């Protein structure tokens, strides 16, 4: 082999190895920042055909509807606990902080946090939907069988004058 070709081949090989190493280091670093989306049923029963359950201490996102009458606020701190449901089991979410203005019972929310026990999530962030029509596709598929009256519809029927 020509010495010039040999030198080019070695240079290309070294550069290719460095690029592959950099990509693998980035993927390894990003692996800890991945938050998988779960519904309350998937946390209790498992996700997918293999029924894979999240591990205690795992970061995750959970989406569901806030159960009516389940919001418990601590009067001295910003701590709040509430239950989430989709179509099956109930999961309790504990959060310390200011909740979004649109947060209320019967509302769909998405919380990011850490699984503490089998059905307790300690949330770091709670997001409430701003529009009753939008719902993450995964959650919409799970909630197809649940009837939910939109607050806007309830307000219209109350405000409609009767003649």
> Are 4 and 55 within one domain?
no
- Domain enclosing residue 19, as ranges: 1-33
Q: Which residues of 106-139 are buried (b: 16+ CB within 10 A; e: fewer)?
A: eebbbbbbebeeebbbebeebbbbeeeeebeeeb
List the structure tokens of 19.
Answer: 């690029």
Statement: the pTM of the whole predicted model exceeds 0.75: no
Number of domains in the chain: 2
> Are 15 and 42 within one domain?
no
In a domain, 160, yes or no: no
Q: Kindly indicate the confidence band of residue 16, based on its pLDDT and cuts at 50, 70 and 90.
A: very high
Span 31-85, pLDDT tens digits: 666 667 888 888 888 877 777 788 888 888 888 888 888 889 988 888 999 999 8
When pLDDT is averaged across residues 80-106 and rounded to a whole number, the result is 88
> Are 116 and 136 within one domain?
yes
> Cα angle vertex 43, ends 85, 52, to 5°?
150
Most confident of 23-32, 120-129, 140-149: 120-129
List the structure tokens of 67.
Answer: 């159960």
In a domain, 111, yes or no: yes
């Amino acid at each position: 082999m020509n010495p010039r070709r040999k030198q080019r081949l070695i240079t290309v090989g070294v550069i290719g190895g460095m690029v592959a190493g950099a990509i693998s280091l980035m993927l390894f670093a990003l692996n800890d920042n991945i938050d998988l989306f779960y519904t309350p049923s998937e946390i209790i029963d498992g996700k997918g055909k293999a029924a894979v359950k999240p591990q205690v201490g795992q970061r995750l996102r959970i989406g569901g509807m806030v159960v009516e009458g389940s919001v418990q606020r601590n009067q001295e701190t910003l701590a709040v606990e509430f239950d989430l449901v989709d179509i099956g089991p109930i999961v309790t979410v504990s959060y310390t902080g200011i909740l979004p203005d649109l947060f209320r019972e019967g509302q769909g929310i998405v919380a990011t946090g850490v699984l503490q026990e089998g059905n307790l999530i300690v949330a770091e962030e709670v997001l409430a939907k701003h529009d009753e029509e939008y719902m993450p596709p995964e959650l919409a598929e799970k909630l197809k069988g649940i009837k939910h009256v939109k607050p806007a519809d309830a307000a219209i029927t109350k405000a409609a004058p009767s003649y």
